[in-house]
Structure 1
Amino acid sequence: MDLPVVIGIAGGSGSGKTTVLEQIIEEFGADPIAVLDHDAYYQDLSHLPPEERGQFNFDHPDALETNLMREHLDRLIAGEAVEKPVYDFTTHTRREETETVEPRPVIIIEGILVLAEALLEERMDIRIFVDAADDIRLMRRIRRDLEERDRSIEGILEQYERTVRPMHLEFVEPSKREADVIIPRGGHNRVAIQMVMSRIQDLLSGVEQEA
Protein backbone atom coordinates (compact mmCIF):
# COMPACT_ATOMS: atom_id res chain seq x y z
CA MET A 1 0.00 0.00 0.00
CA ASP A 2 1.24 3.52 -0.82
CA LEU A 3 1.85 5.64 2.24
CA PRO A 4 -0.39 8.71 2.53
CA VAL A 5 0.85 12.29 2.70
CA VAL A 6 0.72 13.52 6.31
CA ILE A 7 0.32 17.28 6.86
CA GLY A 8 0.55 19.02 10.22
CA ILE A 9 -1.10 22.40 10.76
CA ALA A 10 -0.16 24.21 13.98
CA GLY A 11 -0.38 27.76 15.28
CA GLY A 12 -1.76 29.69 18.20
CA SER A 13 -5.40 29.66 19.21
CA GLY A 14 -7.29 31.84 16.74
CA SER A 15 -4.41 32.02 14.26
CA GLY A 16 -6.43 30.74 11.30
CA LYS A 17 -5.57 27.04 11.26
CA THR A 18 -9.16 26.08 10.45
CA THR A 19 -9.23 28.55 7.56
CA VAL A 20 -6.10 26.98 6.06
CA LEU A 21 -7.57 23.50 6.54
CA GLU A 22 -10.82 24.53 4.86
CA GLN A 23 -8.96 25.99 1.88
CA ILE A 24 -6.96 22.78 1.43
CA ILE A 25 -10.19 20.78 1.49
CA GLU A 26 -11.79 23.22 -0.96
CA GLU A 27 -8.82 22.82 -3.31
CA PHE A 28 -8.57 19.01 -3.25
CA GLY A 29 -12.08 18.03 -2.15
CA ALA A 30 -13.06 16.17 1.02
CA ASP A 31 -12.83 12.66 -0.46
CA PRO A 32 -9.01 12.28 -0.48
CA ILE A 33 -8.51 13.89 2.96
CA ALA A 34 -8.73 12.46 6.49
CA VAL A 35 -8.62 14.93 9.38
CA LEU A 36 -7.46 14.32 12.94
CA ASP A 37 -7.94 17.44 15.06
CA HIS A 38 -5.91 17.45 18.28
CA ASP A 39 -8.83 19.13 20.11
CA ALA A 40 -10.82 15.89 19.81
CA TYR A 41 -8.26 14.19 22.06
CA TYR A 42 -8.64 16.37 25.14
CA GLN A 43 -8.68 14.36 28.35
CA ASP A 44 -12.16 13.48 29.60
CA LEU A 45 -12.83 15.51 32.77
CA SER A 46 -16.13 13.85 33.71
CA HIS A 47 -14.52 12.66 36.97
CA LEU A 48 -14.14 16.28 38.15
CA PRO A 49 -16.88 18.54 39.52
CA PRO A 50 -18.06 21.04 36.84
CA GLU A 51 -16.57 24.02 38.69
CA GLU A 52 -13.12 22.40 38.69
CA ARG A 53 -13.20 21.56 34.99
CA GLY A 54 -13.16 25.22 34.00
CA GLN A 55 -9.91 25.74 35.93
CA PHE A 56 -8.11 22.95 34.07
CA ASN A 57 -5.07 23.98 31.97
CA PHE A 58 -6.31 23.04 28.48
CA ASP A 59 -3.27 24.61 26.81
CA HIS A 60 -0.64 22.32 28.32
CA PRO A 61 0.42 19.21 26.35
CA ASP A 62 -0.68 17.00 29.25
CA ALA A 63 -4.28 18.10 28.67
CA LEU A 64 -4.38 16.02 25.49
CA GLU A 65 -4.23 12.26 24.96
CA THR A 66 -1.57 12.51 22.28
CA ASN A 67 -0.60 8.83 22.56
CA LEU A 68 -4.10 7.87 21.39
CA MET A 69 -3.93 10.38 18.55
CA ARG A 70 -0.55 8.96 17.49
CA GLU A 71 -2.01 5.46 17.58
CA HIS A 72 -4.90 6.58 15.39
CA LEU A 73 -2.52 8.32 13.00
CA ASP A 74 -0.39 5.19 12.68
CA ARG A 75 -3.47 3.09 11.98
CA LEU A 76 -4.64 5.51 9.29
CA ILE A 77 -1.17 5.41 7.71
CA ALA A 78 -1.43 1.61 7.76
CA GLY A 79 -4.77 1.79 5.94
CA GLU A 80 -7.10 1.16 8.89
CA ALA A 81 -10.15 3.20 9.91
CA VAL A 82 -10.23 4.69 13.42
CA GLU A 83 -12.88 5.93 15.84
CA LYS A 84 -11.97 9.52 16.71
CA PRO A 85 -13.29 10.87 20.03
CA VAL A 86 -15.90 13.62 20.07
CA TYR A 87 -15.22 16.27 22.72
CA ASP A 88 -17.88 18.49 24.29
CA PHE A 89 -16.31 21.87 25.02
CA THR A 90 -19.28 23.12 27.01
CA THR A 91 -18.96 20.33 29.61
CA HIS A 92 -15.25 19.46 29.10
CA THR A 93 -16.10 15.78 28.62
CA ARG A 94 -15.94 13.23 25.83
CA ARG A 95 -19.25 12.19 24.37
CA GLU A 96 -20.23 8.56 24.13
CA GLU A 97 -20.37 8.65 20.34
CA THR A 98 -17.24 8.65 18.16
CA GLU A 99 -16.52 9.74 14.60
CA THR A 100 -15.28 7.18 12.10
CA VAL A 101 -12.27 8.40 10.12
CA GLU A 102 -11.35 6.36 7.06
CA PRO A 103 -7.80 6.14 5.63
CA ARG A 104 -7.19 8.58 2.80
CA PRO A 105 -4.29 9.63 0.52
CA VAL A 106 -3.91 12.84 2.58
CA ILE A 107 -4.03 12.90 6.39
CA ILE A 108 -4.16 16.32 8.06
CA ILE A 109 -3.46 16.64 11.77
CA GLU A 110 -4.35 20.03 13.19
CA GLY A 111 -3.98 21.72 16.57
CA ILE A 112 -2.04 24.30 18.53
CA LEU A 113 0.47 21.74 19.82
CA VAL A 114 0.91 19.25 16.97
CA LEU A 115 4.38 20.60 16.12
CA ALA A 116 5.35 20.60 19.79
CA GLU A 117 4.74 16.85 20.05
CA ALA A 118 7.59 14.78 18.59
CA LEU A 119 5.31 11.73 18.42
CA LEU A 120 3.23 13.59 15.82
CA GLU A 121 5.77 15.91 14.21
CA GLU A 122 8.12 13.07 13.16
CA ARG A 123 5.33 11.47 11.12
CA MET A 124 4.61 14.59 9.02
CA ASP A 125 5.62 15.16 5.40
CA ILE A 126 4.66 18.85 5.54
CA ARG A 127 4.78 20.95 8.71
CA ILE A 128 2.80 24.19 8.60
CA PHE A 129 2.68 26.92 11.25
CA VAL A 130 -0.09 29.49 10.85
CA ASP A 131 1.00 32.79 12.37
CA ALA A 132 -1.11 35.79 13.39
CA ALA A 133 -0.79 38.82 15.65
CA ASP A 134 -1.70 38.29 19.30
CA ASP A 135 -4.58 40.81 19.27
CA ILE A 136 -6.13 39.21 16.19
CA ARG A 137 -5.91 35.76 17.75
CA LEU A 138 -7.48 36.97 20.99
CA MET A 139 -10.39 38.63 19.17
CA ARG A 140 -11.06 35.46 17.20
CA ARG A 141 -10.89 33.34 20.36
CA ILE A 142 -13.36 35.61 22.17
CA ARG A 143 -15.80 35.43 19.26
CA ARG A 144 -15.50 31.64 18.98
CA ASP A 145 -15.88 30.94 22.69
CA LEU A 146 -18.87 33.26 23.02
CA GLU A 147 -20.67 31.83 19.99
CA GLU A 148 -19.70 28.15 20.08
CA ARG A 149 -18.66 27.21 23.63
CA ASP A 150 -21.11 29.08 25.85
CA ARG A 151 -18.40 31.00 27.72
CA SER A 152 -18.59 34.43 29.36
CA ILE A 153 -16.29 37.27 28.32
CA GLU A 154 -14.87 37.36 31.86
CA GLY A 155 -14.13 33.63 31.78
CA ILE A 156 -12.51 33.84 28.35
CA LEU A 157 -10.17 36.66 29.38
CA GLU A 158 -9.32 35.01 32.71
CA GLN A 159 -8.40 31.77 30.95
CA TYR A 160 -6.38 33.64 28.32
CA GLU A 161 -4.31 35.39 31.00
CA ARG A 162 -3.97 32.35 33.26
CA THR A 163 -3.10 29.59 30.76
CA VAL A 164 -3.54 30.43 27.07
CA ARG A 165 -0.89 33.14 26.76
CA PRO A 166 1.72 31.51 29.07
CA MET A 167 1.37 28.12 27.35
CA HIS A 168 1.54 29.77 23.93
CA LEU A 169 4.87 31.34 24.86
CA GLU A 170 6.20 28.13 26.41
CA PHE A 171 5.07 25.52 23.90
CA VAL A 172 3.31 26.85 20.79
CA GLU A 173 5.58 29.70 19.71
CA PRO A 174 8.81 27.64 20.06
CA SER A 175 7.27 24.88 17.90
CA LYS A 176 7.40 27.29 14.98
CA ARG A 177 11.04 26.20 14.57
CA GLU A 178 9.81 22.77 13.44
CA ALA A 179 7.74 24.20 10.57
CA ASP A 180 8.61 23.75 6.91
CA VAL A 181 6.25 26.59 6.01
CA ILE A 182 5.18 29.56 8.13
CA ILE A 183 2.01 31.28 6.91
CA PRO A 184 2.03 34.87 8.19
CA ARG A 185 -1.15 36.93 8.61
CA GLY A 186 -3.23 33.89 9.45
CA GLY A 187 -5.40 31.96 7.05
CA HIS A 188 -5.92 34.76 4.53
CA ASN A 189 -2.44 34.71 3.00
CA ARG A 190 -3.37 33.38 -0.43
CA VAL A 191 0.20 33.39 -1.79
CA ALA A 192 1.59 31.24 1.03
CA ILE A 193 -1.40 28.91 0.98
CA GLN A 194 -1.09 28.45 -2.78
CA MET A 195 2.54 27.43 -2.30
CA VAL A 196 1.39 24.83 0.22
CA MET A 197 -1.21 23.56 -2.27
CA SER A 198 1.48 23.15 -4.93
CA ARG A 199 3.67 21.16 -2.56
CA ILE A 200 0.77 18.90 -1.61
CA GLN A 201 0.02 18.33 -5.28
CA ASP A 202 3.67 17.45 -5.93
CA LEU A 203 3.64 14.87 -3.13
CA LEU A 204 0.34 13.40 -4.28
CA SER A 205 1.64 13.16 -7.86
CA GLY A 206 4.65 11.26 -6.58
CA VAL A 207 2.37 8.82 -4.77
CA GLU A 208 0.26 8.33 -7.91
CA GLN A 209 3.34 7.68 -10.07
CA GLU A 210 4.54 5.01 -7.63
CA ALA A 211 1.14 3.30 -7.63
Structure 2
Amino acid sequence: MRRRPPQIIAICGGSGSGKSTLARKFVGAAVLATDSFYKDIDDLKPREDGTFDFDHPDAVDLDECADACIKLADGEDIMIPVYEMRSAKRVGQQVVPAPTNSIVVIEGIYAFHNPLHEIATLRIFIDTPIDQRMARRLRRDVERGRSTLESIQYSLHVEEAYSRYVEPMRHLADLILMGEEMRGSFSL
Protein backbone atom coordinates (compact mmCIF):
# COMPACT_ATOMS: atom_id res chain seq x y z
CA MET A 1 0.00 0.00 0.00
CA ARG A 2 1.36 3.42 -0.96
CA ARG A 3 1.87 5.99 1.71
CA ARG A 4 0.10 9.31 1.21
CA PRO A 5 2.34 12.31 0.67
CA PRO A 6 2.78 14.16 3.94
CA GLN A 7 0.65 17.21 4.65
CA ILE A 8 1.73 19.95 7.02
CA ILE A 9 -1.25 22.06 8.05
CA ALA A 10 -0.56 25.39 9.75
CA ILE A 11 -3.38 26.85 11.86
CA CYS A 12 -3.05 30.49 12.87
CA GLY A 13 -5.29 32.95 14.68
CA GLY A 14 -5.46 35.08 17.77
CA SER A 15 -5.23 33.81 21.32
CA GLY A 16 -8.52 32.06 22.15
CA SER A 17 -9.61 31.82 18.50
CA GLY A 18 -9.97 28.03 18.50
CA LYS A 19 -6.64 26.90 17.01
CA SER A 20 -6.14 24.02 19.44
CA THR A 21 -9.77 22.96 19.15
CA LEU A 22 -9.51 22.80 15.36
CA ALA A 23 -6.14 21.00 15.48
CA ARG A 24 -7.61 18.22 17.63
CA LYS A 25 -10.29 17.60 14.99
CA PHE A 26 -7.72 16.15 12.56
CA VAL A 27 -8.05 12.51 13.59
CA GLY A 28 -4.78 10.55 13.34
CA ALA A 29 -2.68 13.67 12.82
CA ALA A 30 0.39 14.58 14.83
CA VAL A 31 -0.34 17.93 16.47
CA LEU A 32 2.28 20.43 17.59
CA ALA A 33 1.77 23.80 19.26
CA THR A 34 4.23 26.62 18.68
CA ASP A 35 3.83 27.33 22.43
CA SER A 36 5.97 24.23 23.08
CA PHE A 37 8.89 25.93 21.35
CA TYR A 38 9.15 29.10 23.44
CA LYS A 39 12.76 29.88 24.27
CA ASP A 40 13.97 29.83 27.86
CA ILE A 41 13.87 33.25 29.46
CA ASP A 42 17.68 32.97 29.81
CA ASP A 43 17.95 32.87 26.01
CA LEU A 44 15.85 36.00 25.42
CA LYS A 45 17.11 39.54 25.16
CA PRO A 46 15.35 41.87 27.61
CA ARG A 47 13.79 45.14 26.51
CA GLU A 48 15.32 48.42 27.63
CA ASP A 49 13.10 48.43 30.72
CA GLY A 50 14.36 44.95 31.71
CA THR A 51 11.14 43.09 30.87
CA PHE A 52 10.75 40.39 28.26
CA ASP A 53 8.46 40.40 25.24
CA PHE A 54 6.98 36.91 25.07
CA ASP A 55 4.50 38.08 22.44
CA HIS A 56 7.18 38.71 19.80
CA PRO A 57 7.84 35.97 17.22
CA ASP A 58 11.51 35.92 18.26
CA ALA A 59 10.46 34.48 21.65
CA VAL A 60 9.66 31.19 19.88
CA ASP A 61 12.24 28.92 18.22
CA LEU A 62 10.40 28.61 14.91
CA ASP A 63 13.35 26.83 13.25
CA GLU A 64 13.25 24.06 15.87
CA CYS A 65 9.48 23.86 15.44
CA ALA A 66 9.79 23.55 11.65
CA ASP A 67 12.43 20.81 12.03
CA ALA A 68 10.05 18.90 14.32
CA CYS A 69 7.23 19.22 11.76
CA ILE A 70 9.45 17.91 8.96
CA LYS A 71 10.59 14.91 11.02
CA LEU A 72 6.99 14.04 11.88
CA ALA A 73 6.00 14.40 8.22
CA ASP A 74 8.83 11.99 7.38
CA GLY A 75 7.28 9.44 9.74
CA GLU A 76 9.61 9.87 12.72
CA ASP A 77 8.59 9.95 16.36
CA ILE A 78 10.11 13.05 17.94
CA MET A 79 10.89 14.65 21.27
CA ILE A 80 9.67 18.21 21.83
CA PRO A 81 10.24 20.63 24.69
CA VAL A 82 7.81 20.95 27.57
CA TYR A 83 7.56 24.67 28.27
CA GLU A 84 6.28 26.00 31.58
CA MET A 85 4.69 29.43 31.21
CA ARG A 86 4.97 30.40 34.89
CA SER A 87 8.76 29.95 35.05
CA ALA A 88 9.30 30.84 31.36
CA LYS A 89 11.56 27.81 31.04
CA ARG A 90 11.71 24.50 29.27
CA VAL A 91 11.29 21.91 31.99
CA GLY A 92 11.63 18.65 30.09
CA GLN A 93 10.71 16.83 26.91
CA GLN A 94 7.82 14.75 25.67
CA VAL A 95 7.39 12.26 22.84
CA VAL A 96 5.16 13.08 19.89
CA PRO A 97 4.47 9.96 17.83
CA ALA A 98 4.48 10.13 14.05
CA PRO A 99 1.04 10.64 12.54
CA THR A 100 -0.97 7.60 11.49
CA ASN A 101 -2.22 9.40 8.37
CA SER A 102 0.75 11.50 7.13
CA ILE A 103 -0.81 14.71 8.49
CA VAL A 104 1.08 17.07 10.77
CA VAL A 105 -0.77 20.02 12.26
CA ILE A 106 1.12 22.97 13.69
CA GLU A 107 -1.02 25.45 15.57
CA GLY A 108 -0.12 28.72 17.15
CA ILE A 109 -0.19 32.46 16.82
CA TYR A 110 3.05 32.33 14.81
CA ALA A 111 2.20 29.32 12.62
CA PHE A 112 2.29 31.49 9.47
CA HIS A 113 5.71 32.97 10.21
CA ASN A 114 8.74 31.57 8.38
CA PRO A 115 10.01 28.92 8.26
CA LEU A 116 6.63 27.37 9.19
CA HIS A 117 4.86 29.21 6.39
CA GLU A 118 7.33 27.78 3.87
CA ILE A 119 6.83 24.14 4.88
CA ALA A 120 3.04 24.25 5.26
CA THR A 121 1.02 22.61 2.49
CA LEU A 122 -2.23 24.14 3.81
CA ARG A 123 -2.62 27.33 5.85
CA ILE A 124 -5.81 27.90 7.84
CA PHE A 125 -6.55 31.19 9.58
CA ILE A 126 -9.25 31.24 12.25
CA ASP A 127 -11.04 34.57 12.37
CA THR A 128 -12.89 34.84 15.66
CA PRO A 129 -14.32 38.13 16.95
CA ILE A 130 -12.27 39.80 19.66
CA ASP A 131 -15.03 39.59 22.28
CA GLN A 132 -15.25 35.80 21.86
CA ARG A 133 -11.46 35.41 21.94
CA MET A 134 -11.13 37.53 25.07
CA ALA A 135 -13.95 35.64 26.84
CA ARG A 136 -12.34 32.27 26.00
CA ARG A 137 -8.94 33.53 27.07
CA LEU A 138 -10.33 34.86 30.36
CA ARG A 139 -12.07 31.54 31.10
CA ARG A 140 -8.91 29.57 30.25
CA ASP A 141 -6.64 31.83 32.31
CA VAL A 142 -8.90 31.66 35.37
CA GLU A 143 -8.98 27.85 35.04
CA ARG A 144 -5.16 27.93 35.00
CA GLY A 145 -5.00 29.95 38.22
CA ARG A 146 -4.64 33.53 36.98
CA SER A 147 -6.71 36.24 38.63
CA THR A 148 -9.40 37.89 36.52
CA LEU A 149 -7.65 41.29 36.65
CA GLU A 150 -4.29 39.75 35.74
CA SER A 151 -5.91 37.96 32.80
CA ILE A 152 -7.64 41.10 31.51
CA GLN A 153 -4.41 43.13 31.72
CA TYR A 154 -2.51 40.36 29.95
CA SER A 155 -5.22 40.00 27.28
CA LEU A 156 -4.87 43.67 26.34
CA HIS A 157 -1.15 43.12 25.73
CA VAL A 158 -1.92 39.95 23.74
CA GLU A 159 -4.36 41.86 21.52
CA GLU A 160 -1.70 44.47 20.76
CA ALA A 161 0.65 41.67 19.67
CA TYR A 162 -2.18 40.13 17.59
CA SER A 163 -2.58 43.40 15.67
CA ARG A 164 1.15 43.67 15.13
CA TYR A 165 2.24 40.07 14.38
CA VAL A 166 -0.73 37.78 13.73
CA GLU A 167 -3.49 39.62 11.86
CA PRO A 168 -1.08 40.88 9.14
CA MET A 169 -0.35 37.21 8.27
CA ARG A 170 -4.05 36.53 7.54
CA HIS A 171 -3.56 37.17 3.81
CA LEU A 172 -1.26 34.12 3.62
CA ALA A 173 -4.14 31.76 4.43
CA ASP A 174 -5.39 29.22 1.92
CA LEU A 175 -8.57 28.96 3.98
CA ILE A 176 -10.15 31.38 6.45
CA LEU A 177 -12.62 29.92 8.94
CA MET A 178 -14.90 31.95 11.13
CA GLY A 179 -14.59 30.67 14.70
CA GLU A 180 -18.19 29.45 14.79
CA GLU A 181 -17.76 27.33 11.61
CA MET A 182 -15.57 24.72 13.30
CA ARG A 183 -17.84 21.78 13.94
CA GLY A 184 -17.22 18.05 13.38
CA SER A 185 -13.95 16.39 12.40
CA PHE A 186 -11.79 16.76 9.34
CA SER A 187 -9.99 14.45 6.97
CA LEU A 188 -7.88 15.09 3.90
TM-score between both structures, scaled by the size of structure 2 = 0.85
1:99 aligns with 2:94: yes
Give, in angstroms, the shift of residue 19 of structure 1.
1.8
Give, in angstroms, the shift of residue 153 of structure 1.
2.0
Indicate the residue corresponding to 1:129 in structure 2: 125
SS in 2 for 1:118: coil
* Contact in 2 for aligned 1:83/1:99 (Cα 8 Å): yes
Indicate the residue corresponding to 2:168 in structure 1: 174
State the Cα deviation string for residues 79-111 of structure 1 (Å, max 9, x = none): 322111111123222112x11112221100000
Indicate the residue corresponding to 2:18 in structure 1: 16
1:146 aligns with 2:146: no
Letter in 1 for 2:146: R
Letter in 2 for 1:4: P
1:157 aligns with 2:159: no
Indicate the residue corresponding to 1:71 in structure 2: 67
1:114 aligns with 2:111: yes
1:189 aligns with 2:186: no
1:80 aligns with 2:76: yes
Indicate the residue corresponding to 2:9 in structure 1: 7
Q: Give the paired residue count.
A: 178
Q: Which runs of 5+ in 1 are unaligned?
A: 26-31, 49-54, 202-211
CA distance 1:69–1:2, change in 2 (3 Å): same
Once residues 114 and 87 of structure 2 are traced to their aligned partners in structure 1, the CA distance between those partners, rounded to angstroms, is 29
CA distance 1:176–1:47, change in 2 (3 Å): closer
CA distance 1:11–1:138, change in 2 (3 Å): same
Report the structure, 1 or 2, having the larger helix content.
Answer: 1
Runs of 4+ deviating beyond 3 Å: none
Q: Which moved more, 1:103-112 or 1:76-85?
A: 76-85
Give, in angstroms, the shift of residue 22 of structure 1.
2.4
Once residues 152 and 21 of structure 2 are traced to their aligned partners in structure 1, the CA distance between those partners, rounded to angstroms, is 23
SS in 1 for 2:95: strand
TM-score between both structures, scaled by the size of structure 1 = 0.76
State the identity %.
34
Indicate the residue corresponding to 2:57 in structure 1: 61
CA distance 1:154–1:69, change in 2 (3 Å): same
Give, in angstroms, the shift of residue 158 of structure 1.
2.1
Indicate the residue corresponding to 1:29 in structure 2: none
CA distance 1:133–1:47, change in 2 (3 Å): same
